[in-house]
Chains A and B, each alone.
Chain A
Amino acid sequence: MSYIIDRRLNGKKKSTVNRQRFLRRYKAHIKKAVGEAMTNRSITDMDKGERISIPTRDINEPVFNHGPGGHVERVLPGNREFVSGDRIPRQGQQGAGGGGGGASDSGEGVDDFVFQISQEEFLDFMFEGLQLPNMIKRRLAGNESFKMVRAGFSNEGTPGRLNVVRSLRAANARRIALTSSKRRNLRELEEELAREEGKDPALRDQRKLDTLGKRIAELRGRIDKIPFLDDFDLKYNLLVKQPKPRSKAVMFCLMDVSGSMNQATKDMAKRFFLLLYLFLQRSYEYTEVVFIRHHTSAKEVDEEEFFYSRETGGTIVSSALKLMRRIMQERYPASEWNIYGAQASDGDNWNDDSSTCHKILINDIMPHVQYFSYVEITPRDHQALWEEYESVRAIFPEHFAMEQIVDLKDIYPVFRQLFSQKVAA
């Protein structure tokens, strides 16, 4: 007797837990691979999944087994030319029999254990242990999303929201209220009837018995006429719309496009911005990006132009900061937006401009932004701008960060450093 069961609709993700455990166990390996991937990837597929490879020996599950050596007898299939007593030199094992097979069962697997992690897992690993520097503001603003919340019960509603318990409770209450006097009468009459019936048969008043019986029947009939459930008993769950607070962030990308910035430097800056963008996206429901490029004057541009158009000229960093200040005031009130600034430059600046930058930052920008990060992409020594920014950092140590990037390889580590979870002091 056989039973045939269709299990196809049963859950299929039974191994998810085990898979997660595996990933957790080899976190170190995966993180390393993710870090490497960040450096090697082209910018457009920064946030795709990744193939991870772990050396097989690291995930090997050891058991007691035999090593090579000793006296081994092996039976093999497919003999063609051997007769007993043949001697085969141990060297040149390939095809000479025995040795070839021996290599396979000594478990000398050199291939790496390679597998794919999904985009989400990739990003999880990429940003693991990173934190947006504190304070995420949640504000109500115009284009809100709403969510429905429960708000008690109402007498009107759609059948789908009918609250059965409440409705029946109301019906019950109504029935009790409407029948109480009748039931009291009924009880009295029944008691009277019982008294009458309890008398000696000779003493019973037959007329009284009949009247009582009639009135009892009449009362019963009236009680029965009260409907079990009436229209106005029905109660519905009431839902009301409530505006849902949304966290919004805007990210200002400021980049120097003066002649001193070449394509490689810009590429590094772009990677940095992209990482920051991905990171913000994970933390906020809504993220906007403002691209500001500058040489001697600053301009708000779209992404394409920001990264690819070429312009040359001198460098006045303050122009970009001024533009940022203006856009902040006009479009992104700090009361509503979480503002992040990221600036990339090679550190060149017009000589006396750096102090202006300092002033703008301290007075107009830093008080309003959540975080401002500055990366200097240069192998050379720092110049005036770096020093000015260092003094800004001294004033806003929580909100201002700066690092130097020399090489493509530095970006991810620097990024991690900027946003690594700070242990609460």
Chain B
Amino acid sequence: MLDKFPTAPDAKSEGPISTTSEWTFELIQEYDRAIAELAEEFGLDTYPNQIEIISSEQMMDAYSSVGMPVGYNHWSFGKQFISVENNYQRGLMGLAYEIVINSNPCIAYLMEENTMTMQALVIAHACYGHNSFFKGNYLFRSWTDASSIIDYLLFAKNYIARCEERHGVEEVEAILDSCHALMNYGVDRYKRPYPISAVEEERRQKEREEYRQRQLNDLWRTIPKMGNGREEKPNFRFPEEPQENLLYFIEKNAPLLENWQRELVRIVRKLAQYFYPQRQTQVMNEGWATFWHYTLLSELYRRGRVTEGFMMEFLQSHTNVIYQPPFDSPYFNGINPYTLGFSIFTDLRRICEEPTEEDRAWFPDIAGSNWKETLQFAMRDFKDESFILQFLSPKVMRDMKLFCIRDDDRESEIVVSAIHDEDGYRQLRADLAGQYNLGNREPNIQVYSVDTRGDRSLTLHHTQYRRRPLGKDTPEVMRHLHRLWGFDVHMHSLHEDEVTASYHCPERGRDRMDSEDEPMLIPKPI
């Protein structure tokens, strides 16, 4: 993976910044300054950094609240915390060296237990790698608002705390549970939300309350309008188009939710939206940060600002980070995004600097171009799926020894459909890219119709992707959906317009009265 070991230091240099593994605030500052200068030379554009030194306990806290410095209270974060705490105390896992938050200023946590080398690595990785990615990548630029996220989290935390006081922890948790179950379906893929501040959020929250109620009343009006005598079309469809943002649909249309419950749905939806770009750019984001910590620290070494001992320690952790166990290893747990991303970016630089014939054939536009500009371009305008499709080079496929298997339940055997050879490159690349397409990874479920004139039941359609059925959690999630919707919920799983499976909540064939004793809380009618 490491094609070139960093070359030996220049003769004329200022000497290493530090020689021991102990860190001090002054040293951190000095490393940060040195790395910042380099980053600027390399053309990295970043938000200002806020580097916070925290203890391991605090790291565990941060860990379990999805890395956010403020978060609302929920048992699932407690579960996360307990498992992190346990594993850590039993020595089963090390904590991440860093957590970085996409905010402006960009907040990065450094653990006090780290050595100086690790702190420098983290600074390079998080404060300049991730940070520039957050600022540059189009998904983050257009979907998240770095300057207002902390404000919004604060609003959410306070709002939820107020709800708990007024309506009881259990009621609030029940709604949050249901929202969390549908969190992945609370994302707008095509419409861009616009940023607003916490104060404004609060003001609007009031307005929304009134507005929602009015809208709802319109939809659920059961008394026919008097007047001009023109009947409404009998096959009036609602919604007119299928809706993919389930949480949004529920927030706006669920008949029985109270206003505060709608606001909770909205909060979870907003958070899902905030994390959506991260889920789509994992390979790129980690690859980019890893590429830069490697490049920046190697450059520091070349200029004689760090010692050889520092480099050894750094390379060791770097190698651990980008280790990819082969598929048959007991440690194998999918493709390591750090490895894949780092390999692609590193190879991209090589293609720019030392292109081979193969590269010229595969990447005529970028072979031999300015590597800094090309990498910036690759970082800015892609997400994992398109990034892999565009930049995964044959060399990386060969290095990682990628191969593709086809597992079709209609065939008795698993077939190796492509390997890292001339015939396989294109298919491999397309398949790997497809693997990072959230649209393929998650079942495609949309709101199909609502029986507005009848029993108010909600019908969803699952459009199967390559005949893949839904998982065993489905009935459970249906119950959550039912809790939010308040009336019957149906889902049909379709393969080429043919229903192959159906889910209902409450389950069909059960007496309606029976459903009273199911453990879920059914919202009380208004």
Contact = CB atoms under 8 A, between A and B. Distances in A.
Given A3-B51, A97-B328, A98-B405, A70 B415 contact: no
Given A3-B49, A64-B470, A75 B428 contact: yes
B380 interface: no
Contacts of B49: 1-3
Contacts of B418: 84
Interface string B45-88: 00011111111011011001100000001111111011101100
A97 B185 CA distance: 32
Contacts of A55: none
Nearest to B109: A7
B173 interface: yes
Contacts of A20: 78
Contacts of A3: 48-51, 105
Interface string B335-373: 100010000000000000000000000000000000000
B235 interface: no
B202 interface: no
Interface in A75-98: 75-80, 82-90, 95-98
Given A64-B477, A77-B324, A8 B402 contact: no
Q: Determine the main DSSP class of B at the interface with A.
A: mixed
Contacts of A1: 48-49
Contacts of B226: none
B185 A64 contact: yes
B420 A73 contact: no
Interface string A285-321: 0000000000000000000000000000000000000
B419 A82 contact: yes
A318 to B, nearest CB: 53
A5 interface: yes
Contacts of A2: 29, 32, 36, 48-51, 127
Interface stretch (A9-17, A186-194, A374-382): A9-17
B439 interface: no
Nearest to B26: A4
B468 A71 contact: yes
A95 B327 CA distance: 8
B169 interface: yes
B98 to A, nearest CB: 14
Interface residues of A, number: 69
Contacts of B424: 84
A19 B435 contact: no
B404 A12 contact: no
Contact of B73 (A18, A68, A84): A18
Given A66-B443, A78-B326, A113 B334 contact: no
Given A75-B403, A100-B328, A102-B407, A64 B78 contact: no
A89 to B, nearest CB: 6
B413 A90 contact: yes
A405 to B, nearest CB: 34
Contact of B327 (A6, A12, A100): A100
B61 A12 contact: yes
Q: List the 10 closest pairs (A to B, CB-CB), nearest first.
A: A78-B326, A22-B78, A18-B78, A70-B468, A62-B473, A62-B476, A70-B467, A2-B49, A71-B466, A76-B327
Contacts, number: 284
**Which of B51, B60, B329, B333 counts the most A-chain CB atoms under 10 A from its CB?**
B51
A1 B105 CA distance: 10
Nearest to A83: B419
B334 A78 contact: no
A18 B477 contact: no
A97 B480 CA distance: 36
Contacts of B441: 66
A96 B424 CA distance: 20
Nearest to A77: B400
Given A18-B77, A71-B406, A98-B405, A12 B423 contact: no
A101 interface: yes
Classify chain B: how many residues form its interface, as a range.
35 or more
A77 B74 CA distance: 38
B408 interface: yes
A64 B244 CA distance: 13
A21 interface: yes
**Which of A82, A84, A87 counts the most B-chain CB atoms under 10 A from its CB?**
A84
A84 B413 contact: no
A243 interface: no
Contacts of A105: 334
15 contacts: A5-B51, A18-B75, A18-B78, A19-B78, A22-B78, A64-B182, A67-B470, A70-B468, A71-B468, A72-B407, A73-B466, A76-B335, A77-B324, A78-B328, A80-B326
Nearest to B50: A3
A103 to B, nearest CB: 11
B242 to A, nearest CB: 16
A63 B428 contact: no
A77 B57 contact: no
A116 interface: yes
A69 interface: yes
A101 B327 contact: yes
A19 B82 CA distance: 7
Given A18-B74, A85-B416, A99-B414, A10 B58 contact: yes
Contact of A65 (B324, B332, B407, B442): B442
B443 A64 contact: yes
